[in-house]
Copies of this chain bind each other. A is one copy, B any other.
Amino acid sequence: MRFSPAMLQRAAKAVDKYALYVPTKGVFPKEFKVASTASGVKKNGVLDLGVILNTNKSRPSSAAAVFTTNKFKAAPVLLSRGVLEASHGKGVDAIVVNSGCANSVTGDVGLADGQAMLEMVNQNIGKDNATLVMSTGVIGQRLKLDKIQGGINDIFKKNKFGTDFSSWLGLAKSINTTDTFPKLVSSKFTLPNGKEYTLTGIAKGAGMICPNMATLLGFVLTDLPIESATLQKMLRFATSRSFNCISVDGDMSTNDTICMIANGAIDTPVINESSPEYQQVQQQVTEFAQRLAQLVVRDGEGSTKFVTVNVQNALKFDDAKIIAESISNSMLVKTALYGQDANWGRILCAIGYAKLNDLKSLDVNKINVSFVTTDDSQPRELKLVVNGVPNLDVDEARASEILALNDLEVLVDLGTGNEEAQFWTCDLSHEYVTINGDYRS
């Protein structure tokens, strides 16, 4: 073991993530109500079942989703995709989600179980094809339908729904698996019409995209009216710049789902691609999705650092993103960050093996690599590589200061164009190996 005790102490420095990242209040979109309960799928009376209901009767909602591209798709992914396809024009009025069991690699029985689960909610709200279903937890195990049924009955019979902060926080808690804190984000925005709209989102992920304790899930709800196909396009754009720009270990699960419902409870014209507000709304949704996705990285298993990888001045956006992803997924970069080592060589190397679409995106003589501090200290930028040449006079003391931070940025300037992309990643620690090397438990 070559880690000094002081290093280990620094790396293990406890951060109270719950206090830092869990809000104590929020704003919530009109005409949504949410509930959660402990169905018994998880042990010890922990919340493990949630329902989101759209209560707006004035017009049909719009719903959209981005699903995992893993070829092993869990039953709820296949079912929700079908519900969504059949819902256009009629909207989606409920999402039912459980944690503790992912209902994945469960074959036809799993499909029947998931179908039964969503139909229980359809019956309670008196509608057909109005409910999306999501599951997260252990894979390869059957859903305990009796417990899920008991939980859904409990929620509807006892009318556990609420619109207040604690109801939303309970919902966020009910979808957690190995997460160390619930992920709840909300914000308001105003369009040029002077009206105020609300976005609320919850997510889970334990900071990793893990097939054992699946999954990455994210839900975004708004009271803005958005046309269905526009919403789908917008969510896909936002996801490509948020949930698809995070890395804990680079693995992608069988259940990953990001979905969004716009219920149009605020009575203004429906946004579509030709609306003048379209760009503004897309930007709002994207930034919101980024806030939510970043919380997933913050909760990275065993992680001690939150690192923004910022690739600037690229010829193509896609190549900037491919380079950001290559750096973010590199085990050697992640361990160097954990070890607080200003190892520009590993960063250059990860850039060099990224599989670019356009080789002209990278000119090895134009590249600049820096670390950037996230606090107020100066200088903010520490140059490690300048125009492809290592900076041999790098201020090692300043490097140590920046690398000791919990939040920092790796800045790559490609110098070949004007595009940029960000990725958010965390370090690779002893604790990560401990958590993931453990027996299923």
Contacts and interface: CB of A to CB of B under 8 A. Distances in A.
A345 B140 contact: yes
A441 interface: yes
A132 interface: no
Nearest to A330: B251
Q: How many copies does the complex hold?
A: 2
A353 B210 CA distance: 12
A212 interface: yes
Contacts of A385: 105
A2 B390 CA distance: 41
A250 interface: yes
A360 to B, nearest CB: 11
B105 A388 contact: yes
A331 B332 CA distance: 12
Given A70-B352, A339-B439, 18 more contacts: A71-B351, A71-B352, A72-B349, A72-B352, A104-B345, A105-B345, A105-B389, A107-B388, A140-B392, A208-B332, A212-B345, A249-B330, A250-B330, A253-B349, A332-B436, A341-B439, A430-B433, A432-B433
A440 interface: yes
A70 B351 CA distance: 8
A381 to B, nearest CB: 19
A120 to B, nearest CB: 26
A270 interface: no
B343 A212 contact: yes
A338 interface: yes
Contact of A251 (B353, B388, B392): B353
Contacts of A339: 436-439
A253 B349 CA distance: 6
A362 B139 CA distance: 20
> What are the 7 A-B residue pairs with the smallest beta carbon separation, nearest first?
A339-B437, A211-B349, A335-B436, A70-B352, A72-B352, A140-B390, A249-B331
A350 interface: yes
